[in-house]
Amino acid sequence: MGRHNVDVVVACGGGFIGGHLVADLLDQGRSVRSIDIKPLDEWYQAHEAADNVQADLSLLDAARAGADGAREVYNLAADMGGMGFIENNKAACMLSVLTSTHMLMAAKDAGAERYFYSSSACVYAAGKQTDADVVPLSEQDAYPAQPEDGYGWEKLFSERMCRHVEEDYGFATRVARYHNVYGPHGTWDGGREKAPAAVCRKVATAVVSGRHELEIWGDGEQTRSFMYIDDCVYGSKMIMAGADSEPINLGSSELVSINQLVDIVEDIAGVRSKRHYKLDAPQGVRGRNSDNSLIRERFGWEPSISLADGLERSYRWVYDQVKLQNA
């Protein structure tokens, strides 16, 4: 094993999930190198106690420098966003394969003990997600492969890379398939935001502006499950420390339609708005939910923060951002 001068490297530490993970690791007393392609003043959270580095980890030299001396590496880095971004930027999503591959090889070559890769529910076969009343997706549903075009293919390929690097080199890799992570300190406008943040923004804008009208993508009956950021951070660390390298679902099994998601946020805000349905907007698969049998069996745990509780915290934060923007 190589020399370890930092406990943990977080690739994309300036991103939404990365910022929360870095905060949590620092709270545990770990030494953390946080790396992101964005300039430091654009990071969602920059923690002074971390070694904060701006670098493009799609470049092998930058990945090697980033992984140098690390005991553990969490790779959360990807060019991504909600459905609006994923459906219209397939090449950009596929090019994340450079970061995924270079960070994996750099971590192995640096003598790190473990490597965590954040995969996605977008790896699952589209044919299993055609009905809003969806059967929850279990880990074997990724094959035969029919993932989300672009983004999902890159994730599935990078999962396989982790598997084969572990098989061929004995380098410990861990893979979690994230299902729709949301919470404060994330993207909430600009086109890359996901449904919970977009809905929070639209409802907050209605409250602040007094114009009680909302645009909803699709007919609002498409279904998803959403995992609050605290469950994501806890589960990621648990899977990293676990004994198994097979990809595992990390998501809530609380299924809601987009219309129900809007209902919950409107209840929190205490408003009702007229809904306009944009039927030609990107909306992804018809239904998607997480089967948590495997994570319960392995760890005796699953994400459990309710959507109502998580959205309450998220809405308060997004509302403050909207108010600032409109001040």
- DSSP for 29-61 reads T--EEEEESS-GGG-S---TTSEEEE--TTSHH
C-alpha to C-alpha distance for 274 and 116, rounded to whole angstroms: 43
SS3 78: coil
- Contacts of residue 47, defined as CB under 8 A and 6 or more positions apart, other chains included, come to 19, 22, 23, 26, 32, 34
Q: 148 near 119, Cβ under 8 Å?
A: no
C-alpha to C-alpha distance for 187 and 101, rounded to whole angstroms: 25
Residues with active-site annotation = 151
Q: 301 near 239, Cβ under 8 Å?
A: no
SS3 120: strand
Nearest to 117 by CA among 99, 141, 130, 137: 99
User: What residue has token string 């907007």?
Assistant: 281
290 beta partners: 137
SS3 73: strand
Nearest to 148 by CA among 92, 218, 225, 87: 87
Where would I find the H helices in the chain? 16-27, 60-67, 83-88, 90-94, 96-109, 151-169, 195-209, 229-241, 258-269, 293-299, 307-325
Task: Say how many C-beta atoms besides its own lie within 10 A of residue 299's C-beta.
Answer: 15
Q: 35 near 21, Cβ under 8 Å?
A: no
